[in-house]
Amino acid sequence: MSLPHAILTALLEKPSSGLELTRRFDKSIGYFWSATHQQIYRELGRLETDGLIRALPSEQPARGQRKSYEVLPAGRAELARWTAASQDPRPMRDTLLLRMRAAAVVGTAGLEEDLRRHLELHRRQLAEYEEIEKRDFPPVRDSSQDRLRHLVLRAGIDLETFWTRWLTHALEEFPEDVPGPGTA
């Protein structure tokens, strides 16, 4: 249910074509809500059919031209309704944690190397978020909108900080190969 709301948010920030939305997802919203090019185009069609967005009039013939979309009042109202609604936190589902639990019964072969790989990936993501924070959120930018956007980025920074600390700890505590049941 959140992809249409992510698209409405992006379009309210700036009317865009599907291609522009895909690029913006890759650079911002995609850090916490990803979508493929096809998913975005499919959802744009639904949102237009539902009367929540409209294609902006084009100065040139539509054939072969990119359509840009804007949010209609019904789309803004839907986004406001969704934003105000209460939602419970989602339970965490993480394949790495499940694999570690499974390793306790079948052995840890290959897992330590993957933990190191994950640690490096999280370190890189943390560095990228911190660079975005320095670039996009200087102390002089302090509007309500900037504070909310910065809070979203801080969530990413805090999550990556957690994962880098936890993975470092996991590697320090990593046991020698745990043999599976029935192995000696």
Q: What values do phi and psi take at 115, rounded to 5?
A: -60, -40
The helix, strand and coil proportions of the chain, stated in percent and rounded to the nearest 5, come to 65, 5, 30
Cβ neighbours for 135, distance < 8 A, ≥ 6 positions apart: none
What is the residue-level pLDDT of the chain in tens, covering all 184 positions? 589 999 999 999 999 999 999 988 888 887 878 888 899 999 999 999 999 999 998 766 556 667 899 999 999 999 999 999 999 988 888 999 999 999 989 989 989 999 999 999 999 999 999 999 999 888 777 788 889 989 999 999 999 999 999 999 999 998 766 555 555 5
52 with 7: CB under 8 angstroms? no
Most distant CA pair in the chain, distance: 75
Q: In what order do the strands lie in the sheet with 68-71?
A: 16-17, 68-71, 53-55
Model pLDDT, residue 25 = 84
In degrees to the nearest 10, what's the CA dihedral of 111, 116, 118, 122? 160
Each residue of 28-55: b (16+ CB within 10 Å) or e?
bbebeeebeeeebbebbeebbeeebbbe
DSSP string, 125-180: HHHHHHHHHHHH--TT---HHHHHHHHHHHHHHHHHHHHHHHHHHHHHHPPSP-PP
Per-residue confidence (pLDDT) for residue 124, from 0 to 100 = 97
Residue located via tokens 């698209």: 7
What is the Cα–Cα distance from 131 to 128, expressed in whole angstroms?
A: 5
Spell out the residues 6+ positions from residue 126 whose beta carbon is closer than 8 angstroms to its own: 157, 160, 161, 164
pLDDT for 63 equals 62
- The pLDDT, as a whole number, for residue 90 is 87
The one-character DSSP state at 65 is S
